Structure 1
Amino acid sequence: MPEATTEQVCPQCGTGMPVHEGYRVWCAGCDWNVAPELFVYGVGGTAERRRDFAGRHGTATFEELAREGTQGLRARLTPSSVLAGVLALLVHGLSFVLLGVGAWLLVAGWGNPFAVAFGALLVLTFLVLRPRFPRLGGTAPQLGRADAPRLFALVDSVAAEMDTRSVDAIVVEPYVNAAVTTYGLRRRVLHLGLGLWAVLTPQQKVALLGHELGHFANGDTRHGSLVGSALHTLRLWVAVLTPDPWDGRLTHLLVIGMMRIPYYAAQSGLTLLEKVSLRGLPRREYLADDLAAEVASAEAARDLMETLLHADRIDSELRRLSNEAAAFASRQDAPRTDVTLWPRLAEHLASVPPRERERLRRVSALDWHQQDSTHPPTHLRIELLDRRGPSVAKVVLDERTESAVERELRPAAKKVARTVARDM
């Protein structure tokens, strides 16, 4: 960890400021230079748009949960979640209406070439646009229970504490993120980003699993089969119905004109379902944080949130290490990147001095840092965990188990390390 070798005096309030080489010098007394970019360009722009989103959704929910407390609360049925389910049923129902009308025209209109042709067109349209459930697919390593029994046992223990079903597969990716979703009819998958997993302490890893599985425990509609498959289907409709640029032929122009209405209908349906399913997410994220605190300890959940403030730094270092490895890959004495990449990433984050961590906490409150547009502001998530109070971990990842889990992840981690530059 860099040591503060010198000290400067704040030009604004005269307070002493420790200097860490390679990190910004700032004043803890008056916040001088804590985030000069926000005051050069204004706290508007991106921060204002985030503030608008968080102000209408995340902040109101924060104030509600701050009053009520989060312990023991679970996501509730809301008008937006009901509407999302109804819209998803309509999407799937429309597909089967096409099939039904097409089949009826083929049977009732047999002998009428126009009825048969139109009926066959509707049936073919159903075959192309039929309800589809997401598949795992992709080139990222996929782990089953036989591949990583200790990792799955850890995930199972977290799921059991939350009284929810565990995952059926784990996909290992390079990203500084993690997520859960469904595939097939009712199967669950955990997407584990090694860019985040590698820099976490053992209990923070439990908190990460707790947060992600908390979405299932809370009945998050976007992670469920019904709404998730409807979103997947609508995206397919939009992709198929997107008209190609006119090539000058009159027949092509007629085809474009015919596709225009169903294309806009599919695009509007997708936009509406996206917005409706997003409305309850701030509350679900806060409650997923609470479940993470319940299973891994409030301290571990809070530390996980603070690690998210370093996502850009971790991402940049991951790219740097990957590019460095690619540049020296032809050298015989070059280090084994697939072995050293993830430990070096963890060492880099561990070297960040406490003063820089505190600066990022202050910046997050100024620019309303969010993990992405679906998450409430990170500083509000941290504050709500602080208000929750301390808690004792229900699942403890001991050193022996962590070593076993990392051994199981090692083959996938090596494969992912070789593809970081391509995938990120």
Structure 2
Amino acid sequence: MAPYRGTRLLSRWGFRRGRVLDDQLLAELTRNPDQLPRTSRGQWWLMGVSVLIVLVALGCLCGAVLVWAREGWPAGVRVLASLGLLALVALLFPAPLQVPRGAQIPQDQGRELRRLVDQVAAAVGTRSPDAIVIDMSLNAGVARFGWRQQTLLVIGAPLWAMLPPAGRLSVLAHEFGHLVNKDPMRSVLTLPARTFGDRAVAATGGRNPWRRALAGADSATWHGAGVAGVLVHGTLALINTVTATVQLLVDSAAMPDSRRAEYLADLKARHVGGSEAFVASAERLLISQGIWQDLWDCAPRMEASELGEAIERAAHHRAHEVTVLRQATLRANDLWSSHPPESDRIALVEALAHVEPSVDVSQERWGVIDLEMSGWYAHIHHVLLGTRDPIGASERSPGRGAVLPRHEGRSAIGDVVV
């Protein structure tokens, strides 16, 4: 959930400030596209706040233990105090990301896809991911997971199916660019500070706290709770408002670096996949929601094997929308957006010298990879039809080493956050 912006005045200021920020980043990277990522003051500040939050959480944990070491306290008081302190620990200390095991590619599947991932990772200059996950989101990403902080690559099957082959290379190179720039590790180090406000807002009821407080106070008064009920709801609303404001302040420090990281990853994608492939993949992402809608409409009239042809027809049908959608991305971003506008990302690559791709993948290899992904393409077709894969149906048709869907895909397509 995005943090509550508060007022129209604040939203307008955030939009103007975000536009200034993106203009500065564009000018800076156009002059010097080979600059190395740096740790800004905002990142150091967030790391410091994260350390403080972790220390407070550890203090609460120690306090929960010490409560039971105190003599003379009633058992009920000890239980309530320890539970309250443990609740604060859960609120303050976020759990590390865990791999969705049902979607992880086993080692004996997707051999050619793994070879491609390894090849792109080497071209970008990073090691291959420790795990590859395929899901039903219109997305791709990299992250650190587990207590060992291994690297996870997530590939959304609908996104993969919609992208042309060169665009797939560009997206993979973009994600591995984040690994080269150590963005996932910085995200882990700043995770407590970046997510504390959101968790506190959710724990106190979500958005519109004062409207909810008035309704709750009225209900409490009606049921005889009196002043105590009014104070409880008012306190929750106050905590909600304060933590939402804190989250806005944190995002004001975090998002400029997040947007810089996206631009720098885009430049890695340009070097590996080429300028033309980057623009093509970015434009395909702009119309991806429209493509999905067209696929949804024509799914009952096609077979799973015709998915690729249907995607290309839909992309051709939606091509005229690219210009308008590029302009729309400029209006949808403000200071607290984690990604820069797609229009600015395309403009940066278009303003730089044209680059040819440094990784060459033959049509035969793409054919093998598509064969490995055919089980997921069939699964996409079933999702479009609003049905569930029959048990083993997608496992009978793919060839040896195919990547098989072993979990239920979501029927809704999420936002593009590549």
TM category, shorter: 0.7 to 0.9
What residue in structure 1 maps to residue 112 of structure 2?
Answer: 150
Of residues 397-406 and 130-139 in structure 1, the stretch that sits farther from structure 2 once superposed is 130-139
- Residue identity opposite 1:368 in structure 2: L
1:270 and 2:231 equivalent?
no
Structure 1 counterpart of 2:86, from 103, 124, 129: 124
Instruction: Tell whether the 8 Å contact from 1:133 to 1:232 is kept in structure 2 after alignment.
Output: no
Q: What is the CA-CA distance between 1:349 and the residue it aligns to? A: 1.6
In the TM superposition, residue 206 of structure 1 has moved relative to its aligned partner by 0.8
Contact 1:198 1:346 in 2 (8 A): no
Aligned mates of 1:227, 1:144 — CA distance in 2: 31
Tell me how far 1:284 sits from its aligned partner: 1.8
Which of 60, 63, 74 matches 2:36?
74
Q: 1:52 to 1:144 in 2, by over 3 A?
A: farther
Which residue matches 2:281? Answer: 304
| RMSD (Å), alpha carbons | 3.5
Please tell me whether residue 284 in structure 1 is matched to residue 258 in structure 2. Answer: no
Q: What SS is found at the alignment partner of 1:74?
A: coil
Task: Say if 1:151 and 1:405, in contact at 8 Å, map to a contact too.
Answer: yes
- 1:158-202 per-residue CA deviation (whole Å, 9 max, x = no partner) reads 222333343333343444443333332313333323443223332
Normalised by the length of structure 2, the TM-score is 0.72
Rounded to whole Å, the distance in 1 between the matches of 2:203 and 2:40 is 33
Structure 1 position 110 matched with structure 2 position 67 = no
- Counting matched residue pairs gives 358
More off after superposition, 263-272 vs 93-102: 263-272
For 1:212 and 1:230, how far apart are their aligned partners in 2? 24
The answer to whether the 8 A contact 2:50-2:193 is kept is yes
Task: Choose the corresponding residue for 1:405, options 358, 369, 374.
Answer: 369
Partner of 1:184: 146
Alignment partner of 1:96 out of 28, 51, 58: 58
Gaps of 5+ in 1: 1-47, 329-333
Query: Whose helix proportion is higher, 1 or 2?
Result: 2
- TM-score normalised over the length of structure 1: 0.71
For 2:267, give the aligned amino acid.
D
CA distance in 2: counterparts of 1:343 and 1:182, whole angstroms: 36
**TM-aligned CA distance change 1:83 to 1:289, over 3 Å:** same
Match of 1:83 in 2: 45
- Alpha carbons of structure 1 residues 253 and 189: separation in structure 2 relative to 1, 3 Å: farther
Alpha-carbon spacing, 1:264–1:387, altered in 2? closer, same or farther (3 Å): closer
**Distance between the aligned counterparts of 2:163 and 2:371, measured in 1?**
16
What CA deviation, in whole Å up to 9, does each residue of 1:97-133 have, x standing for no partner? Answer: 21122222321x2332276345423443256434311
Deviation at 1:154, TM superposition (A): 1.7
- Relative to structure 1, the CA distance from residue 367 to residue 101 in structure 2 (aligned partners, 3 Å threshold; closer, same or farther) is closer
Asked which structure has the greater CA Rg, the reply is 1
Contact 2:143 2:184 in 1 (8 A): no
Q: Which residue is 1:22 aligned to?
A: none
Q: Which residue of the partner structure matches residue 170 of structure 2?
A: 207
Instruction: State the alpha-carbon separation in 2 of the partners of residues 369 and 126 from structure 1.
Output: 38
Q: Please say if residues 30 and 351 of structure 2, whose CA atoms lie closer than 8 Å, have aligned partners that are also in contact.
A: yes
Structure 2 gap ranges (5+): 1-11, 387-410, 414-418
Write out per-residue CA displacement over residues 268-288 of structure 1, whole angstroms, 9 at most, x where no aligned residue.
443333332212233222211
1:272-315 deviations in Å (ceiling 9; x for gaps): 33332212233222211110111122222232233334x2xx32
Quote the residue 2:338 is aligned against: 374
Whole-angstrom CA distance in 2 between matches of 1:257 and 1:362? 45
SS at match of 1:423: coil
User: Counterpart of 1:155 in structure 2: which amino acid?
Assistant: V
- Matched residue of 2:190: which SS? helix
Q: Tell me how far apart the structure 2 counterparts of residues 230 and 60 of structure 1 sit (CA, whole Å).
A: 26
Equivalent residue runs for 1:212-291 within 5 Å: 212-220=175-183, 224-228=187-191, 231=194, 235-242=198-205, 245=216, 247-248=219-220, 249=223, 250=225, 255-256=232-233, 259-260=236-237, 262-291=239-268
Q: 1:123 to 1:155 in 2, by over 3 A?
A: same
TM superposition shift of 1:342: 4.2
